[in-house]
Structure 1
């Protein structure tokens, strides 16, 4: 069989059956706790507290967290219902070839996040080595720490869940101590954590500052809002369940409760850290203010563990899945993991922390356009019905024009480009504009030229998955040919 004909049929990208879905509701919530403890989130708090009081920073963060959590849950149903990963479903709104363009962008962003989080974890490890042995080699710590995470991720989603179960409770406790220590330091410096603002914004500037925190929060998790199917397809869900809420209960608590609570707390810690020493990086802040070597050592170890558990689930796995999809069967999942790791190192993440908030506004709007397109394509146009087997056929209905869905690409350009004009509202603009343009172009133009089976014959029993008790199966001709030859 030619490589061309098997291009879309990498075993790592086949739909996940009910029996292979091992992640429970509690397991996913705990996974979210560990994923949400990200040091980069502290930058949002440090940036916000410069113009807004802490209570407004908290409100803006909660709004942004709930908004992006809803987006995640909406896109996550693709994985729950059909067992599909993000890059595979993207073949529907973008085409079997066109999917690679936005997917690679999302994979690149996730790889950058892997590098940033690895750098923070490595600084914690380096601090421990310096305290114990006087060794100051952060770059070597960075390389070793990156290698360990990539090795862990190659074992698969269950290994990630087990690691998160171990790390999450300790991380929450140590984060609480970080808040107490830093708020005490701020109070000692004469700054009331609930009233102090460095340069208060008023009027229109205050509104803009508020929405910057909202949009930065949504942009922070924008990669997962698009890519949630790659994780949600491993969550247990009931067959023959037509209620959207009951079918998705496995991800609701994690995305709409656990993540908003923990992420908001991380933003608070970053804000208090800035109040204490005018530095939103708590690693550096606590090294300046904490004299207890043992306590500091434990803290740094937990910081390293936090970045590890976050990276595996929210960055490396989605990026590796995307790169595997682009490369086809010749690029298995573990190779995708290594590609993500290489990108995370080459972007020099140690130089990115100071520009995280502007970068979140920029990237968030572009990713939001993808989320808007996914939601419109899946819910409004196809009404959750998908001709799954054709997603794996190069000459099937999703091939479109030379493998490209022009409506999807134009909508992405319009949504992403429009979001850049108003960065303070980037995610909302990208989401609404991308989804709206896609709906008009796809429904009234593109799908009239390229008919879709699930639209021509909207039959639930034929095109729904878990709701009608179906586990989608994709026949791999290469495997079948091998069996026949034997």
Structure 2
């Protein structure tokens, strides 16, 4: 579940990496922000849960359940403030930055990052009453995350295996450059991601064709299947293009 929770950030990591002054700073931030922070957070959560059991003789897995047991209004208020700040922080990182940049990139002349953020927040506010994740947040996040796995697989294969970690940056900004693909659509990437999504999220969650454990690792299957399909399709396309160029 941790992988699917962070699956969206795998795709829009560039929204944060773009502000790093160099690779050394980027690596340092990743080390402190991901493994170190995650380990410390997990340790604190474990110690807190164990301590709560010793005090209240109940298994309380959620922080709000523990804070509800406090006799001190000050501690309860402090806990509520902590929850609010933590919720705001994680939502800004995971649910605000990416759509804000997306909207500003689609309409750069009319929408800047700030306006894009307001639009994203408004959409979230409108959708909130429908709350498809209510009561089954883990399952909902798992499906969404597993769907993003194939996209991640396509991106990684394209960058590391096809392009050998080299990108023609000027071509990104040319309408007739290599990134134009088929009329502005990268058909092979869509096909590969679609096939990967079938095996990562659609079949495991909406059919009984695959074993029950498959869905648990849906993200990984999606990455592998979509990546493999994309590699084959892209290699064939590049080979055909090379033959046409020689002819």
Task: Label 1:330 to 1:409 Cα distance change in 2 as closer, same or farther (>3 A).
Answer: same
1:417, 1:248 → 2: CA distance?
34
SS state at 2:160 partner: helix
Work out which of the residue numbers 224, 229, 238 in structure 1 matches 2:9. 224
In structure 2, the residue matched to 1:253 is: 31
Are 1:414 and 1:433, in contact at CA under 8 Å, matched by a contact in 2? yes
The answer to whether residue 94 in structure 2 is matched with residue 314 in structure 1 is yes
Are 1:369 and 1:432, in contact at CA under 8 Å, matched by a contact in 2? yes
The answer to whether residue 232 in structure 2 is matched with residue 440 in structure 1 is yes
TM-score for both structures, normalised by structure 2: 0.80
In structure 1, the residue matched to 2:164 is: 383
Aligned length: 227
Q: Which has the higher contact order (CA 8 A, sep 6+)?
A: 1
Are 1:391 and 1:398, in contact at CA under 8 Å, matched by a contact in 2? yes
1:433, 1:419 → 2: CA distance?
9
The answer to whether residue 147 in structure 2 is matched with residue 355 in structure 1 is no
The answer to whether residue 84 in structure 2 is matched with residue 292 in structure 1 is no
Task: Label 1:401 to 1:254 Cα distance change in 2 as closer, same or farther (>3 A).
Answer: same
Deviation track 1:292-319 (CA, whole Å, cap 9, x = no partner) reads: 1011111111111112222223321122
- Runs of at least 5 residues in structure 1 that lack an aligned partner in the other structure: 1-215, 239-245, 452-486
In structure 2, the residue matched to 1:327 is: 107
Query: How far has the Cα of 1:262 moved from its partner?
Result: 4.5
Task: Label 1:247 to 1:373 Cα distance change in 2 as closer, same or farther (>3 A).
Answer: farther
In structure 1, the residue matched to 2:22 is: 237
2:217, 2:184 → 1: CA distance?
33
- Runs of at least 5 residues in structure 2 that lack an aligned partner in the other structure: 205-213, 243-247
Work out which of the residue numbers 402, 407, 410 in structure 1 matches 2:191. 410
The answer to whether residue 150 in structure 2 is matched with residue 369 in structure 1 is yes
Query: How far has the Cα of 1:349 moved from its partner?
Result: 6.4
Query: How far has the Cα of 1:267 moved from its partner?
Result: 6.3
1:339, 1:306 → 2: CA distance?
22
Root-mean-square deviation (CA, aligned residues, Å) is 2.8
2:80, 2:130 → 1: CA distance?
17
